[in-house]
Amino acid sequence: MTEPATTSDFIRDIIRRDNEQGTYGGRVQTRFPPEPNGYLHIGHAKAITVDFGTAEEFGGTCNLRFDDTNPDTEETEFVESIVADIEWLGFRPTRVLHASDYFGQLYEWAEYLVSQGLAYVDDQDTETISAQRGGFGKSGVASPYRDRGVEENLDLLRRMKAGEFEEGSRVLRAKIDMAHENMALRDPVMYRIRHSHHFRTGGDWWIYPTYDWAHGQSDAIEGVTHSICTLEFDTHRPLYDWYLEHLPLPGDQPKQIEFARLELTHTVTSKRRLAKLVADGTVDGWDDPRMPTLSGLRRRGYPARAIRAFCTEIGTTRTNSRQNIEALESFVRRELNASAQRRMAVLRPLRLVIDNWPSGLDGTPLVEYFDVANNPENADDGTRQVAFSGELWIEADDFAEVPPPKFFRLSPGREVRLRGAYLVTATSVDKDADGNIAAVHATYDPETRGGDAPDGRKVKSTMHWVSAAHAVDITAALYERLFTAPVPGEATGEPLDDLNPDSREVVSGRAEAALADAAPGQVVQFERLGYFAADPQTHLLFHRTVGLRDEWAAIQRRQA
Ligand code: ATP
Ligand code: MG
């Protein structure tokens, strides 16, 4: 389901070279390794398109591997959402695997390293250990336990595993080099003692592997060839290699390749911070349409295809940068312009009464039906019937009693087009006791059926409308940026300081009857207003996906 690759990138170049040299016998196997401690976000979509897309392009395989090595933060709910989000994006893992399935093998390998004199139990606490690591240009200090004998180390490790010791009282460390210029190699921690329940292994384990100790080994166990991750692991690569070089591996040694994370303006892509928004109740859960999670974007109406196309288009590099969110929105708009049916809805309704509209013999206003194209971009979407009568809803913004300069919509004495129906001229207004406009009166020209005058006279604006007698009540959630600053946290260091307190406005609107049939999740264009997604659960609740104006085009013009 990947879009064809238009350009090459350094990752594909590495794989091509490996294939030419026969490094992995032409085999390409990648993996996507999320920690199930939250929902996937737009940054993960980039990693997914790289991991799955690259494997697919080379006829290889890509597993989903849960990096479930931290029992305190991981849950089955997250596992299930991750599986669903990857499928929604359009990728299918070759296999679904868990690092926790390798706890036994990892432990055996840890004993092996101990037996080789390459790992030791340190009885110091983590603060002391990190204070001893030194810094750039400053060598670390060896632990007093660094030169323990193999037998004592094995005994202590076995007792750590058996749950004999307090949490935090001991760790297992690799014995590498306390003076190494790369801090990651200064005797890194392999195992921590945790007396927590793990969502898969329950109470089986009292010690848990660190990311570094688990990751490369899991790759090797599964037969991964190219282990693609983000740039912050760059300095860990020598450690990744060190472990693999010192173990009796079942097969080839996988290769870690790093690329720059996807960051977006006005967006935070950190599970920890997103989790805080959920926990604080700032948003209504992980799938709140304002969230940059895949489940939030899906509920907001973002098509998976648009997200994939965006991730492909921005390319894969080793340079950190931040993409404009308007660029992603532009992909969304392009996709929806082709796929979304058009409907008429009025979000700030004002009553328009056509005084010369005819009534039938029984005294009730006549109803006329117009055949309207569902999507002018796609004839296959057919047409629908839209009712028109003498009382309509129009947008309050589309009327001005005293029009300001350059206001060409409806005002007393001014003629406008009601889209696809008739030309109407406003005549007067009704006001309530407070002086607010309660209704606008108008006359229509019966000769202009369809919206054009036979004498060719022009009007300056075309407005959408909804027949009052046929309207359904809808609720629309209008969203602004969740973060006001383009780079959240740039000023204070804390992205959550830039939260927009007014990121959602909920309005009650009126819409043409066809909207009552919107399928859960269906995205439609409200004419002149934007794209709106029907909520998957609540009937007649619509989330504004994006507006109609392509701000990305304007940004690009400004940058050119
Ligand atoms: P977070 O900081 O949000 O918790 P993470 O990197 O800890 O992200 P993981 O679940 O460990 O989250 O990530 C799984 C994979 O997704 C990793 O390979 C990681 O490098 C990649 N990834 C995470 N965030 C991004 C991002 N913003 N852009 C590209 N890839 C990402
Ligand atoms: Mg992580």
pLDDT, one tens digit per residue, over 384-430 is 999 999 999 999 999 999 999 999 999 999 999 999 999 999 999 99
Q: Is the CB of 73 under 6 A from ligand 1?
A: no
CA–CA gap between residue 266 and residue 292 (Å, rounded):
10
Read off the pLDDT of each residue in 471-488 and give the average, rounded to a whole number. Answer: 98
Atom 27 of ligand 1, residue of closest alpha carbon: 43
- Which atom of ligand 1 lies at the shortest distance from residue 46's CA? 29
CA–CA gap between residue 348 and residue 379 (Å, rounded):
30
Half-sphere exposure at residue 279, Cβ-oriented, CA atoms within 13 angstroms: 7
Contact 243, 237 (CB under 8 A): no
| Per-residue confidence band for 297, with pLDDT thresholds at 50, 70 and 90 | very high
The pLDDT value recorded for residue 465 is: 98
CA of 202 to the centre of ligand 2 (A): 22
- Which atom of ligand 1 lies at the shortest distance from residue 233's CA? 20
The pLDDT value recorded for residue 7 is: 59
Sign of the alpha-carbon torsion through 390, 422, 532, 545 = negative
Q: Which residues belong to the active site?
A: 35, 261, 271
pLDDT at 2 over 50: no
Q: Which residues pair with 264 in a beta bridge?
A: 323
| Per-residue confidence band for 264, with pLDDT thresholds at 50, 70 and 90 | very high
The pLDDT value recorded for residue 3 is: 45
Ligand nearest to the CA of 66: 1
Atom 30 of ligand 1, residue of closest alpha carbon: 47
The pLDDT value recorded for residue 556 is: 85
Contact 89, 42 (CB under 8 A): no
Atom 2 of ligand 1, residue of closest alpha carbon: 270
Biggest alpha carbon–alpha carbon distance for the chain: 105
Ligand 1 pocket mutation pick from 39, 230, 264, 325 by most atoms within 8 angstroms of CB: 230
* Residue 484, number of CB atoms within 10 A of its CB: 15
Q: Count Cβ neighbours within 10 Å for each residue of 170-193 and write b for 16 or more, e otherwise.
A: bbbbbbbebebeeebbbbbbbbbb
Q: What DSSP designation does 132 have?
A: T
Q: Is the CB of 230 under 6 A from ligand 1?
A: yes
* Residue 223, number of CB atoms within 10 A of its CB: 16
Sign of the alpha-carbon torsion through 426, 428, 434, 438 = negative
pLDDT at 206 over 80: yes
Ligand nearest to the CA of 268: 1
In order of 101, 117, 189, the CA distances from 106 in angstroms are 10, 17, 14
**Strand blocks (E) in 90-213:** 96-98, 119-122, 171-174, 189-193, 207-209
Read off the pLDDT of each residue in 310-334 and give the average, rounded to a whole number. Answer: 95
pTM over 0.75: yes
415-418 and 171-174 strand pairing: unpaired
Q: Is the CB of 172 under 6 A from ligand 1?
A: no
Ligand nearest to the CA of 261: 1
- Which atom of ligand 1 lies at the shortest distance from residue 232's CA? 20
In order of 150, 306, 479, 503, 508, the CA distances from 290 in angstroms are 55, 17, 7, 8, 19
CA of 97 to the centre of ligand 2 (A): 17
Question: 548 CB contacts (<8 Å, ≥6 apart)?
Answer: 333, 525, 528, 529, 530, 531
The pLDDT value recorded for residue 358 is: 97
Q: Give the type of residue at 213.
A: W
- Which atom of ligand 1 lies at the shortest distance from residue 51's CA? 18
The residue whose two tokens read 């009601």 is 418
Q: What DSSP designation does 4 have?
A: P
Question: 387 CB contacts (<8 Å, ≥6 apart)?
Answer: 367, 368, 369, 467, 469, 470, 512, 513
Segment 76-134, tens digit of pLDDT: 999 999 999 999 999 999 999 999 999 999 999 999 999 999 999 999 999 999 999 99
Q: Is the CB of 262 under 6 A from ligand 1?
A: yes
CA of 271 to the centre of ligand 1 (A): 8
The residue whose two tokens read 């929806």 is 336
| Per-residue confidence band for 557, with pLDDT thresholds at 50, 70 and 90 | confident
Q: Is the CB of 47 under 6 A from ligand 1?
A: yes
User: What strands, in cross-sheet order, belong to the sheet with 207-209?
Assistant: 119-122, 171-174, 189-193, 207-209
- As a whole number of Å, the CA-based R_g of the chain is 31
Contact 187, 143 (CB under 8 A): yes
The pLDDT value recorded for residue 185 is: 98
Segment 8-26, tens digit of pLDDT: 899 999 999 999 999 999 9
Q: Is the CB of 292 under 6 A from ligand 1?
A: no
Atom 16 of ligand 1, residue of closest alpha carbon: 44
pLDDT at 1 over 50: no
The pLDDT value recorded for residue 372 is: 92
| Per-residue confidence band for 553, with pLDDT thresholds at 50, 70 and 90 | confident
* Average confidence score pLDDT of the chain: 96
CA–CA gap between residue 404 and residue 417 (Å, rounded):
19
| Per-residue confidence band for 344, with pLDDT thresholds at 50, 70 and 90 | very high
Segment 212-245, tens digit of pLDDT: 999 999 999 999 999 999 999 999 999 999 999 9
| Per-residue confidence band for 149, with pLDDT thresholds at 50, 70 and 90 | very high
